Amino acid sequence: MVRGIDYQFSITEDFLTMSSLHGTTTGQDIFDNLLKELKDFNLPLEKLSGICTDGAPAITGEHTGLIGLLLKSRVWNVPPIVYHCIIHQENLGAQHLKMGHVMELVVSTVNYIRARALRHRQFKEMLKEIEAEFQDVTYYCKVRWLSSAKTLRRFLSLLDPINTFMRGKGRNHEEFRNVAWINDLAFLADITEHMADLNRKLQGKQQHVSSLWSHITAFRCKLNLWVGQLQNGNCTHFKSLLERQQSVENHVSAEPYAKLLTGLAAEFGRRFAQFDGTCMHINIFEDPFSVDAEEAPAPLQMELIDIQADKRLSQHHNSHELVEFYRDFLPKQRFPGLYKHALLMGSLFGSTYLCEQFFSRMKHTKNKYRTTITDEHLTQQLRLASSATQPDIDRIVREKQCQVSH
């Protein structure tokens, strides 16, 4: 997948090609194939501005990985920016929040209810009779971890009928009546919803790395806010936990949850330390008017002082989209350094979202019923499947004569 930008700030983000490795898949193999494909498409290596990866060792290895071999090429005046996918890092950071005693019981209960068709129908009929808020429980898929938010929310809402149904089937779980366990369930449902909301903001095409980083920065600030509030017993931003807290018969101690969020904040800080080192470059691209010129790289300091003194440009920046501002209002003769910096940052992928989406398409295209498909045909089909170009079917049909004899 490639992302490029021209001098008119038109961004191209699309599938370039697919190279099949039938033997070994070492960093050297990937490096050799990458150079071959770039040469075939007439893309000079020195124009490579950044690499976004999923953190695989064959890619990120310092000596024998793709990144290490690329940096040894030394064809750049300034090496490309290398970083781990923001969405993937957020996913890995979320796994630090381990509450297995809650999640394992929820998943096993849902699987038990839905494992047998008769049992599942009986449960749905019971929910229909009592006019429950939800008419079913949802499966949890570990690969698609965002499903945990919906699974937990429905489970918490249906906890009483689930407890009744399970006891009727001879499965008596004391946790379903344990106040502390239900409080943990409520907290986990709330925090996973916050995490799912963050993940949805990070998804999608044509996103700048600066906008993705702003979502991560905001979430880290929210974590610090929540830690302070929970330490004081304030559950304002955790609606399920707040409802439990406001209930007279329940006592909710929020301090353990503050410790969990402290660990989560530390994990996010560790995983995104790589971006902390480049956040100055991101901030200059996102808002050059609020950056301290003394802390900026020396080649951009004079231009930052000049642009911050220009009130007219500041108004254009506040009233227009970021790309539109750099394309239509920033004088590149007057600010060549900032213009070049904006081109660099605009060319960076924020995540491997396109690759993950591409893998899903490939899974459906290359299946057990199409074992004889060639690499060339697979590439062509995936190019069509991933292309943003809409085919003009009516025109194609008009230009074809289906029966030549007529």
Instruction: Domain ranges for the chain, please list them.
Output: 1-84, 93-274, 353-386
Q: Would you say 186 and 179 are in contact if contact means Cβ atoms under 8 Å apart?
A: no
3-state secondary structure of 5: strand
pLDDT tens by residue, 7-18: 988 988 888 888
Which single residue is written with the structure tokens 């398409």?
A: 361
pLDDT band at 351 (very low <50, low <70, confident <90, very high): confident
Structure tokens at 41: 């498409």
pLDDT of residue 145: 63
Beta bridge partners of residue 14, listed in sequence order: 2
Tens digit of each residue's pLDDT (9 = 90 or more) over 6-52 = 998 898 888 888 888 888 889 999 999 999 999 999 998 888 889 99
CB atoms within 10 A of CB 356: 14
Residue 56: the pLDDT is: 86
For residue range 258-298, list pLDDT tens digits in order.
999 999 999 999 988 888 778 899 999 999 999 999 999 99
Query: Is 307:338 a contact under the CB 8 Å cutoff?
Result: yes
Instruction: For residues 230 and 288, give the distance between their C-alpha atoms in angstroms, rounded to a whole number.
Output: 36
More confident residue, 56 or 146: 56
Q: What is the pLDDT of residues 301-344, one digit of tens each?
A: 999 999 999 999 999 999 999 999 999 999 999 999 999 999 99
User: In this predicted structure, what is the pLDDT of residue 112?
Assistant: 93
The b-or-e profile of 187-217 (16+ CB within 10 A means b, else e) is bbbbbbbbbbebbebbeeeebbbbebbbbbb
pLDDT tens for 177-208 read: 998 899 999 999 999 999 999 988 988 888 88
Looking at the DSSP assignment, which residues form a beta bridge with residue 12? 4
Give me the mean pLDDT over the 113-140 stretch: 91
Alpha-carbon distances, residue 376 vs 34, 226, 238, 352 (angstroms): 17, 52, 52, 24
83 closest CA partner among 281, 286, 351, 320: 351
The per-residue pLDDT for 357 is 82
